[in-house]
A and B are shown apart, each in its own frame.
Chain A
Amino acid sequence: MSLNRTAAGAGQKPRAWDRLSISTKQIVWAWTFLAVPMLFFTVVRFYPTAEAFYLSLTDWDFLRPASFIGLENYKMLLSDPVFWQVFRNTFAYLLIGTPISIVLSFVIAYYLDRIEFGHGFIRALYFLPFLTTAAAMAWVWRWFYQPPPIGVINSLLGAFGIPAQPFLRSVDQGLPAIMVTAIWAGLGFQIIIFLAGLRAIPATYHEAARVDGLGEFAILRKITLPLLKPTTVFLVVFSSIGFLRIFDQVYNMTSNDPGGPLNTTKPLVLMIYQTAFSSYQMGYAAAQTVVLFLILFAISMGQLWILRSR
């Protein structure tokens, strides 16, 4: 009775929703749920990104209304010697930091994988720095690098009769000194990922290779490394982006003279920060941000392409 009435009612007044097939309904539901993050990303990510592109073409200084000045900011950027210095620094962090951190973390993971005794403890020790706030860590390292009488490293050097080194106060040693800190900070994470990658390689491959009489080095070169390629590519991309965006370590270790003596340790992100929030040249800072975006975009695309061609 009541069933009939419902059916009759539906027949008289069919709702649009009920006429959709199940698969169409699923698609509608999927899009409804997806709309939330999409809306979020549009408002919080894409809109400000587009706005930054526009700002880079203006002379906005926070106080006066922005006026459109075309590519003036980009021209200024290209003729700014500090920008080129910062550009070189940023690529020095990337090109030296990434390979060293990848090789180092692989070597550690490779040997850590083979020991049973204290494995968890040592892994935790390596991972600990990754959990620590970058700013706090940077200040500890800043203290390590101090000149005598308080600097830990210089005290050690002094004990061996080696003259004190200026480290952060040097135009040559500043950047490597900061790089060591950044590599050390990211090492734990990379080791964990490498360990997971190593454990994912079936032990039978190695056993078969040993039965066939392959040496350890040949196993590493012919089996382990090729099978680790997805892990390695992921870590290279991840670490490259990290080094291109380096800021916390540099800012906190050189806050007396942000970016080190004569800008020798200053990365692009720090230059953007200073241009925007200490000189209030928002338009110029936006132009620098666009350049950083393009660099990150190109490098990420290149690395994704390598991953795909596998």
Chain B
Amino acid sequence: MLHASTRGLVSSVKMFSAGALALGLLAAQPASAVEIEYWQYVFESRVHAMDELIKEFEAENPDITVKQVTFPYADYQTRVVAAKAAGNGPDVVQLFYGWLDNFVAGGLVQPLSKEKFPAADIEKDFFPIVSAMKRGEDYYGLPTAVRSMALFYNKNLFKDAGLDPNKPPQTLDEMVKAAKATTKQDSAGNFQTVGMALDIARQDHNWWREILIRQFGGEPYSADGTKVTYNSDGGRKALEFYTGLQSGEKVGQEGFMDEGQAAFRAGLAAMVIDGTFRLASFNTISGFEWGVTELPAAPDGTRSNYASYFANAIGGTAEGEKLEAAEKFLAFISSEKAMKVWLEKGGELPARKSIALSEENLAHPVYGPFIRGLTYAHTTLFVDEAAQRQITIDMVNSVLLQGQPVTDALSAAAAKEQQLLDKRKAN
């Protein structure tokens, strides 16, 4: 009796635990569970912001789990390519807009579905620079955040020089005047403080290419990005203006304090042109007060800006339910909600106009100038960012260090860059 009932109990416990196990498995892995991988390079604030977004996304979509995978920036592209070759690439992948041609050619990303991401909506909602993700009729990715440039200035140095620290220069002329007033040299003629931190290797090459050339009446490239068009009057005047800051006006010097941003951080440069991505670093400055203002306008009022971004795209190998999940995730991280999180956590500007151009943001003392810049910003269709930047660096160096005439340096650079464009476009 006892024996029999014990046996019965044991068997019912067994049955029960088997049932619970089955139930547990079901709960942990619903019939349609999908795991997708999201790849980006290591940039701490972005990784944290993405963790946050993934948590929210998974709460909304309990049947999808997202695994975030990160690599150091230097290895990032190589890893994506290697993973594709090995057949286990990411489902959603972050890429710099300038890499798109290479990524498309290598089959690393696939075009977005026209039903789920209608081009008309993208063009209505996002800043126009999103067009750099379009090839033919297809969009290949969407940005969450965008970056633009502005003029940072040191309020303390402005005050010391008798300038109003709340009235930063609004035009190029005013900028040069302020730079002259704030420049300090010792008796031997060495700079103690520069008015303008000049750094062609960092943001100044973008300033020259997309802003100054246009402000002096030129165009850097043809509309389709296949022809170099800066070997013109506008290009020459822009280069004369830029190199003149060192050689004529003597308000700055390439290589002063090694890097322009370092000179500004150290309080030894009154102004520097830099991007949103520098805010995290400049926010830690405690020695002086700084302000930020829109890039100065040309005498005729022309303004321009250079904007760039990292976009998220769908991996070339995603298909079936993974593709579906990837599309959901991409839509989520490109949503207004995600952009708010991104701005709060990462301090990066939203890529959707509705969020970016809120009154609060436009009036924001720091974000405002960058966001206003976005409305008239341009994006360079780079084929090889490093090589094109190098051509501009060499052009400026041949004028400043070798005394080459501006016209010669300009036409040499234009020829070299055209050759590079032709070679890359032919591939």
Q: A residues bordering B, Cβ < 8 Å? A: 61-64, 142-143, 146-150, 154, 158, 163-164, 166, 168-171, 256-257, 261-263, 274, 277-280
**Is the Cβ of A169 less than 8 Å from the Cβ of B190?**
no
Residue in A147, A154, A166, A256 whose CB lies within 8 Å of B201 = A256
Complex contacts, A147 vs chain B, CB 8 Å: 190-191, 253, 255-256
Complex contacts, B4 vs chain A, CB 8 Å: none
Residue in B78, B81, B257, B401 whose CB lies within 8 Å of A262 = B401
Q: A63-B102, A277-B78, A279-B384 are in contact. List 5 more A-B contacts (CB 8 A).
A: A64-B105, A149-B190, A150-B257, A169-B401, A171-B401
Shortest CB-to-CB span from A212 to chain B, Å, is: 59
Complex contacts, A142 vs chain B, CB 8 Å: 258
Verify if B402 is at the interface (C-beta below 8 Å from A). yes
Verify if B106 is at the interface (C-beta below 8 Å from A). yes
Proximity string of chain B (162-205) to chain A, C-beta cutoff 8 Å, 1 when within and 0 when not: 00000000000000000000000010111110000001011000
Q: B residues bordering A, Cβ < 8 Å? A: 77-78, 81, 102-103, 105-106, 108, 186, 188-192, 199, 201-202, 253-259, 268, 384, 386-387, 390, 393-394, 397-398, 401-402, 427
Cβ-closest 10 pairs across A and B: A63-B106, A148-B190, A169-B255, A278-B386, A261-B397, A256-B201, A262-B397, A164-B190, A257-B201, A171-B401
Which residue on B lies nearest to A149, using beta carbons?
B192
Which residue on A lies nearest to B102, using beta carbons?
A63
Q: Could you give 12 example pairs across A and B, Cβ below 8 Å?
A: A154-B190, A158-B188, A163-B188, A169-B254, A169-B401, A171-B397, A256-B199, A257-B201, A257-B397, A263-B394, A274-B386, A279-B386
CA distance in complex: A310, B154 (Å): 68
**Is the Cβ of A63 less than 8 Å from the Cβ of B81?**
yes
Shortest CB-to-CB span from B189 to chain A, Å, is: 8
**Is the Cβ of A262 less than 8 Å from the Cβ of B186?**
no
CA distance in complex: A150, B393 (Å): 24
* Interchain pairs with CB closer than 8 A, number: 79
Which residue on A lies nearest to B202, using beta carbons?
A256
CA distance in complex: A280, B101 (Å): 13
Complex contacts, B191 vs chain A, CB 8 Å: 147-149
Residue in B188, B259, B386 whose CB lies within 8 Å of A164 = B188
CA distance in complex: A62, B108 (Å): 12
**Is the Cβ of B258 less than 8 Å from the Cβ of A146?**
yes
Complex contacts, B81 vs chain A, CB 8 Å: 62-63
CA distance in complex: A164, B191 (Å): 11
Complex contacts, A146 vs chain B, CB 8 Å: 255, 257-258
CA distance in complex: A288, B256 (Å): 34
**Is the Cβ of B397 less than 8 Å from the Cβ of A149?**
no
Which residue on B lies nearest to A163, using beta carbons?
B188
Complex contacts, B386 vs chain A, CB 8 Å: 274, 278-279
CA distance in complex: A170, B400 (Å): 10
**Is the Cβ of B384 less than 8 Å from the Cβ of A158?**
no
CA distance in complex: A280, B427 (Å): 13
**Is the Cβ of B397 less than 8 Å from the Cβ of A279?**
no
A148-B190, A256-B201, A256-B258 in contact; A63/B397 too (CB < 8 A)? no
Complex contacts, A277 vs chain B, CB 8 Å: 78
**Is the Cβ of B186 less than 8 Å from the Cβ of A148?**
yes
Complex contacts, B188 vs chain A, CB 8 Å: 148, 158, 163-164
Shortest CB-to-CB span from B80 to chain A, Å, is: 10
- A63, A149, A168, A257: residue with the most chain B Cβ atoms closer than 10 Å: A63
Complex contacts, A262 vs chain B, CB 8 Å: 394, 397-398, 401-402
CA distance in complex: A148, B268 (Å): 11
Which residue on B lies nearest to A154, using beta carbons?
B190
Which residue on A lies nearest to B254, using beta carbons?
A169
Complex contacts, B253 vs chain A, CB 8 Å: 147
CA distance in complex: A223, B334 (Å): 79
Complex contacts, A149 vs chain B, CB 8 Å: 186, 190-192, 268
**Is the Cβ of A64 less than 8 Å from the Cβ of B106?**
yes
Shortest CB-to-CB span from B104 to chain A, Å, is: 9
